[in-house]
Structure 1
Amino acid sequence: MRRSLEDSYRHKGLRKKLVDTVREKGIKDENVLEAINNVPRHFFLDSAFLDVAYVDKAFPIGEGQTISQPYTVAYQTELLQIQKNDKVLEIGTGSAYQAVVLAALGAKVFTIERQKKLFDENKLFVYLKQYPNIKFFYGDGFQGLPTYGPFDKVIVTAAAPEIPPRLIEQMKVGGKMVIPVNNGAAQQMRRVTKLEQGIEVEYFDNFSFVPMLQGKNA
């Protein structure tokens, strides 16, 4: 991937317009909006996408994956109710844009990517060195990271056929997971809270994500 790591006044202006768009669509958490404003989204895309990086759309990043629409990133992040120093498990690193938005909010992010090529690209991505509070892992998202749990929050950035039980096991009691669930063309966003006994599930809007797949892809 050819990246541009120059953040010009033009890019900053486009980010402000993007924040206005996301706010108009219903995002209210000012901390989330500030994170969207502070993270240069064009850094996470091939330079061929430079002119459209701040359009509120998903774009391909290779390996059949996408960088999520900024509104979707803001929506999931707002539902997570991030507190400073929250320990967050992210399933599906992709471009690492979502991970950086979480890190910008003060979370400690543990993020898993099953596509080896994307994982390797992120290891070489110089900008990510600014975020020592993000730890990157190559693995199967359905299995999570049991060694590093329990987690305060879990975010899944791919369409899950169901709520993965292994991820529930790795949450603290009172912890929350935000996950899009369904095998069809659209998925319903759910927020799952872990209780002493079982879980509580809240249902939100529909979105469209790439599918969450088992195993690792070398």
Structure 2
Amino acid sequence: MTHPSWILGIFFVYAATVQINSPPDPPCGSGNLCKALCTLRNYLNFTNRRTFMSYNFPLNYTIRVHYEEIFRFNNISQLRSSVPDLPEENLQELWLEVYMEVLKKVLKVLPQKHPSHKYTFHLEKLFRDVQQISSFQMEHLAQIQKILANMKDPNTKMWKSVKPKALMDNCYRTMHCLFPHCFPTENKQADYCSFHYWKMSSKRPKNLEGSTSAVMENDRQPPTRHGRK
């Protein structure tokens, strides 16, 4: 059976468009840790965060997290300014511990058949991969120990209700802030710990954040506001 030439023309235009809209992954630093973090970055790209941490939840849905689990730039800057000569490894390990706890809380509210469950489960696995590779051996400073203790205290009264996507947005940005050597950029003046950098980056195409192909095939879902299933 032959196909009209105009149908084939549409197919090739579509194929070319898909190719154009699927850019290669952004550059990645060398070493096993950077490789694991870049895999995590690509899986945390804007499209995935929006789909699996926002669209698949009811409108304005929030989860309860410890106050310490809202980990942002100001937390990093406050620790750096209050603790002289704070080892960067302490902050990196704290970031890892915080977001592994956050993902546990997200998974806890997701039924197994929820369209975001498999994505979140795999995301947690990627964090465990980073943890195994990093193997932080440094002794925690008193300030870090206090944060970790408060974060894991079930009797704390310091709870906050936060949207899952907001938590993962914080995760994505602070990861770049704490591991900048793993995410090289052509802009040598770029400061991943700066609000200005992310404000400007929000004006760029979102698919430049990371590969939009980093989505599990069985998890591809159309945007929905139907909430949990």
TM-score range, shorter chain: under 0.3
Higher strand residue share = 1
Higher helix residue share = 2
Q: Decide which structure has the larger Cα Rg and report it.
A: 2
- TM-score, length-scaled by structure 2: 0.26
